[in-house]
């Protein structure tokens, strides 16, 4: 399996090379030269597997340069009971919608599912090459904590994680900033998430700086994380369907940076029987606007409001380019033309393609507001006694508009409600009880450095603290 850039430059890469690289050398994103296939035979053979075993089989379709015994060992190390409270459960919330419980990991968010594998895979690759990696990432709330908890204490990896100052929940900040490991560096950027992401792209797009300082990525720019996320679409499909037949299901996905639902798109393109991919946005609904109109128009920082589902407060989705690549017939020149149009006009006009979004790719979308979130959290709690976080509530609210009853509608859970206790209290009037360990985390000393949204300031910070490769 070889990997190429959405922009057409550079040589083809292996999975391990792509794992360590982050952005492609030409500024594009790595994509498989050809997607592998998930057959009906695969699905039948995989029904009895544990999550770790399934991960080894699905990721193995992509990571063909990692010997299978090594890959299975990495997956077993990532998905152990010591790390995850349980294998991914499915929980019905009514006669049409089922939650896929992806938040059983150490940071109580779905991103643990891929990040734990990514941490072990990075360590494995660096041990084989004798190299070091300075991970540069941006987070709107959950990616940062999942990455830091997966990579903390590793000798060959340092983490430089940018977050928007004052735009995460108290719980999200505590999960990141309370870490005292020498290899973890938290930077609060004076701006919004898109400013953080722009800084990551600027430094990652500088070949000399990236090479000198051995920069890599762990957010969904890193294709290895996208491929690891495909596993839970397969896992959920296997548990939502009859083992005697191949049925379609639909997935509703709370979406900000387009990484999670991109994994669903790849799973569907590979042959997993998915009818619809329901993209749920919050008030920062650039992606919903695109799937309704065909116009992709990112917004400025002052037009990106802070909401009660803060991890989705994103205007420029870093994975969107990978979908545009497929939409444009996997033609790098057409992709480059789209980004040239974006640079010159502030928008990409693909309105001629709107009929294909649902018919060919299964995409539909909708927007959920603060009021929708509160009403959804309340209604699910009243009906089932289950609490959902505000991002999952966005997914449920939009999923209800598309649920038809003839196929299962699976809503991907985003996080545990404890991470957003203020919104939960506003919705149902209940103060959530935190475990003693979480109380300790919330009261722990926090270590974070504030910086302006300046590439020069970030270069200086990394230059002084980056790990250096040996002689």
pLDDT of residue 24: 83
Lowest-confidence pick of 65-69, 81-85, 110-114, 215-219 = 215-219
Report all structural domains of the chain as residue ranges with CATH numbers, in order of start: 90-108+224-428 (3.40.50.1100)
Between CA 241 and CA 127 the distance in angstroms is 41
Do the Cβ atoms of 165 and 190 come closer than 8 Å? Answer: yes
Do the Cβ atoms of 6 and 326 come closer than 8 Å? Answer: no
Apex CA 451: angle with CA 447 and CA 454, to 5°?
Answer: 150
Between CA 304 and CA 410 the distance in angstroms is 28
Confidence band for 246, pLDDT divided at 50, 70 and 90: low
Residue pLDDT, tens place only, 326-380? 999 999 999 999 999 999 999 999 999 999 999 999 999 999 999 999 999 999 9
Q: Is the pLDDT of residue 218 over 90?
A: no
SS3 153: coil
pLDDT of residue 51: 97
pLDDT of residue 207: 86
Mean pLDDT throughout 431-453?
A: 90
Q: Is the pLDDT of residue 58 over 80?
A: yes
Residue pLDDT, tens place only, 289-338? 999 999 999 999 889 999 999 989 999 898 999 999 999 999 999 999 99
Whole-Å CA distances, 461 to 76, 154, 187, 239, 452: 36, 20, 10, 47, 12
SS3 280: strand
Task: Tell me the pTM.
Answer: 0.92
Between CA 176 and CA 470 the distance in angstroms is 29
Alpha helices by DSSP H, listed for 205-316, are: 207-212, 223-240, 259-270, 286-293
Residue of 183, 191, 190, 195 whose CA lies nearest to 150: 183
Whole-Å CA distances, 441 to 186, 195, 444: 16, 28, 5
Q: Is the dihedral angle over the CA atoms 262, 227, 42, 50 positive or is it negative? A: negative
Confidence band for 197, pLDDT divided at 50, 70 and 90: confident
Q: How does the average pLDDT of the chain come out, rounded?
A: 93
Write out the DSSP string of 70-111: HHHHHHHHHS-TTT-SSS--EEESSSSEEEE----STTSBTH
Confidence band for 438, pLDDT divided at 50, 70 and 90: confident
Residue pLDDT, tens place only, 124-134? 999 998 999 99
pLDDT of residue 244: 62
> Within 13 A of 81's CA, how many CA atoms are on the CB side?
1
Residues annotated catalytic, as ranges:
111
């Amino acid at each position: 399996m070889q990997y190429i850039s959405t922009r057409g430059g550079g040589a083809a890469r292996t999975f391990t090379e792509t794992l360590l690289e982050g952005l492609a050398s030409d500024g594009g994103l790595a994509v498989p030269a050809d997607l592998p296939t998930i057959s009906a035979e695969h699905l039948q053979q995989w029904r009895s597997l544990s999550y770790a075993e399934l991960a080894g089989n699905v990721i193995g379709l992509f990571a063909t340069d990692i010997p299978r015994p090594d890959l299975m060992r990495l997956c077993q190390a990532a998905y152990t009971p010591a790390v995850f409270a349980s294998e991914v459960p499915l929980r019905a919330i009514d006669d049409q919608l089922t939650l896929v419980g992806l938040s059983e990991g150490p940071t109580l968010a779905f991103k643990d599912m891929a990040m734990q594998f990514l941490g072990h895979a990075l360590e494995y690759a660096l041990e084989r090459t004798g190299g070091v990696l300075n991970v540069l990432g941006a987070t709107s709330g959950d990616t940062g904590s999942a990455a830091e908890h997966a990579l903390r204490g590793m000798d060959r990896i340092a983490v430089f994680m940018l977050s928007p100052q004052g735009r995460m929940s108290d719980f999200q900040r505590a999960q990141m900033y309370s870490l005292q490991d020498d290899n973890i560096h938290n930077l609060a950027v004076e701006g919004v998430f898109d400013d953080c992401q722009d800084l990551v792209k600027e430094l990652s797009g500088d070949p000399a700086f990236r090479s000198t300082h051995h920069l890599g990525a762990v957010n969904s720019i890193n294709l290895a994380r996208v491929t690891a996320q495909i596993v839970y679409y397969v896992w959920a499909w296997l548990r939502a369907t009859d083992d005697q037949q191949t049925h379609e299901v639909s997935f509703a996905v709370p979406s900000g940076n387009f990484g999670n639902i991109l994994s669903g798109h790849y799973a569907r393109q590979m042959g997993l029987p998915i009818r619809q991919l329901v993209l749920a946005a919050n008030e920062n609904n650039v992606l919903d606007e695109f799937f309704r109109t065909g116009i992709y128009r990112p917004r400025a920082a002052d037009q990106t409001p802070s909401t009660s589902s803060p991890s989705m407060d994103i205007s420029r989705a870093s994975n969107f380019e990978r979908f545009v690549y497929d939409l444009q017939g996997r033609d790098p020149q057409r992709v480059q033309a789209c980004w040239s149009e974006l640079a010159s006009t502030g928008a990409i006009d693909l309105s001629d393609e709107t009929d294909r979004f649902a018919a060919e790719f299964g995409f539909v979308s909708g927007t959920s507001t603060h009021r929708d979130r509160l009403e959804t959290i309340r209604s699910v709690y009243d009906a089932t006694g289950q609490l959902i976080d505000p991002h999952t509530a966005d997914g449920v609210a939009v999923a209800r508009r598309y649920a038809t009853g003839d196929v299962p509608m699976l809503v991907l859970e985003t996080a545990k409600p404890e991470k957003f206790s203020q919104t939960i209290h506003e919705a149902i009037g209940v103060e959530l009880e935190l475990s003693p360990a979480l109380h300790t985390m919330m009261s722990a000393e926090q270590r974070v450095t504030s910086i302006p949204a300046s590439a020069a300031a970030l270069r200086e910070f990394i230059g002084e603290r980056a790990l250096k490769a040996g002689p």
